[in-house]
Structure 1
Amino acid sequence: MNMTEKNWSVEIVIDEHDADEGGSRTRAQARLRTRDTHTLVGVGLARRNPADTEIPEIGDELATARALADLAHQLIELTAADVEAATHSRVHLTE
């Protein structure tokens, strides 16, 4: 059996800003460049309530999880479009 290995990397960029209503907002971007030069960017947001203890890692983790979920959704949509283009028929991807 001949196995071909491929490696895709996702870059996560996180920034935090003070929110106008108090607390802070964390935004994460998950960037994926595929082998065929598609670039997908998933975005995730998290907001800290001003009354909550400031633990930046929690906002980073939540925003990153949401960015990765957004990226996954985009990749599924891209895959469905690629299959439809190749087969000329409607595709329903299931889990």
Structure 2
Amino acid sequence: MHTTKRWNVDILVSEETEGDTARTWAEAGLASGDGSNLRGHGMARKHPADMDVPEIGEELAVSRALSDLARQLRQVAAEDISDSGIGVPRQG
């Protein structure tokens, strides 16, 4: 039996600039088929002395949001493993 599922990650990026500084925020959202939703968050800051290359801030913020999302998904999996008793030696 072969099963295929598609999980989509939605990414929202926003940037705020003030003078020579900029901050970029990203949110990565995952909605699974069972109705659970996870949201990862990331942020990047541009140093005033750095060149203004918005793509770099976006890449950093998105990568951090995806990393946060991955951490949360690992935590959910660990809780599911614990709840299911997988890996727990059987008594008897």
TM-score range, shorter chain: 0.7 to 0.9
Displacement of 1:89 in angstroms is 7.3
Q: Report runs of 4+ in structure 1 exceeding 6 Å deviation.
A: none
CA distance in 1, matches of 2:59, 2:76: 26
**2:32 matched to which residue of 1?**
34
Q: How many residues align?
A: 88
CA distance in 1, matches of 2:29, 2:38: 6
TM-score when scaled to structure 2?
0.87
- From the superposition, tell whether residues 49 and 74 of structure 1 become closer, same or farther in structure 2 (CA, over 3 Å): same
What runs of 5+ residues in structure 2 fail to find an aligned partner?
none
TM-score when scaled to structure 1?
0.85
Displacement of 1:35 in angstroms is 1.4
Residue 64 in structure 1 maps to residue 62 in structure 2: yes
Alignment of 1:1-95 (within 5 A): 2-18=1-17, 22-87=20-85
For each residue in 1:54-87, what CA deviation from the matched residue of structure 2 results, as whole angstroms up to 9, or x when unmatched?
1100000000000000000000000111111111
Rg larger in 1 or in 2?
Answer: 2
CA distance in 2, matches of 1:6, 1:48: 38
